[in-house]
Amino acid sequence: MIKISKYFTLLALFFVFTNCLDKNTPKVDVSAIDVTIDVHRFEQKFYTISPNKLGVLKAEYPYLFPSSNTDSVWLSKMQNKDEQLLFTESQKLYNNFSKETIQLESLFKHIKYYYPKFKSPKVITILTNVDYDNNVVVTDEFLFISLDIFLGKDNEIYQNFPEYIKQNYTKKHLIVAVAEKFVEKKVTPIFNQTYLYNMIQEGKKLALSQAFLPSVSASEIIGYTYEQFLWAAQSEAEIWKYFIQNKMLYSTDPKLKNRFIEDAPFSKFFLEIDRDSPGKIGAWFGWQIVNAYIKNNKTSLQQVILTENDEIFKNSKYKPRKN
């Protein structure tokens, strides 16, 4: 058990550290930016509509009804017991979508601030039978949000899911998951690069997500619990030393991405600390490097996203914090 004095030291470290992260993200005035918020509650219509009105719904949302499926398929889906349960559970949290609509409006305004050509997509809430690989889908015209992925990590529907998977299946994390999809359109994928390059690429995504969602905590942005974020901050110097000593930064070993960047129950040092570590610790370090670069160089966030990752590291003057 952590002694009380040590606990308060760690608590202070957490707040100091998250405050430093927040200061790296400029607070911008978006009040004069005009965006359109057009929200369609498709799941509410689909699971409550009279069967003889199906044709009306199909005419309104033709892109959600593949022609390869007959009406009998859709009617069966409407009345399916499991899908009706998902609908019931989703409406407990999202019968009123006004709070989320306000969050989406703020997100769209911030995206447009940084990228003036941004056009707000039509927002459509749906259910996807807990298809977590497609919890949010963004196209040029549409933003689809699968509400059954954000019912709360303790919902019985997720009882057989790994803890690290369902950890962010929350109402609070919904807006973060949406922002991530827009960020992915701005930070393009890279392949066959060094571990350091991959870290910084993920760091760019996190920095941009935080700029798009300045009111959301740093721990929520990366999808960590309070304890996981605190562990990362407390262990920063020790882990960085591990990366250096094992000559990982400029390694092109693809396994490093799996061990330290991709979503996982823990980061894989193959040491005792694995059991305490959160997943994707490499992405966390990439974020620190990008924030150090922003702090030490006068440049716009948009330009940071376009800057070569090697240059970001070289000019970031990044040094891990020592406790």
Report the run of H or E that residue 198 belongs to, with start and end: helix 195-212
Query: Structural domain of residue 168, as residue ranges?
Result: 39-186
The pair of three-digit structure tokens given for residue 251, joined into one six-digit string: 């390694």
Does residue 262 share a domain with residue 152? no
pTM: 0.91
Does residue 205 lie in a domain region? Answer: yes
pLDDT at position 25: 63
Residues 86 and 115 in one domain: yes
The count of structural domains within the chain is: 2
pLDDT lower than 70: segments of the chain:
1-26, 323
Q: Are residues 146 and 47 in the same domain?
A: yes
Query: Strands (DSSP E) along the chain, which ranges?
Result: 39-41, 122-126, 136-138, 142-146
Is 262 in the same domain as 276? Answer: yes
Residue environment code for 139-169, b if the CB has 16+ CB neighbours within 10 A, otherwise e: eeeebbbbbbbbbeeebebbeeeeebebbbb
162 and 211 inside one domain: no
Looking at the structure, tell me whether residues 201 and 300 fall in a common domain: yes
- State the pLDDT at residue 190: 83
Same domain, 300 and 225: yes
Boundary residue ending a domain (186, 219, 236):
186
At residue 7, the pLDDT reads: 46
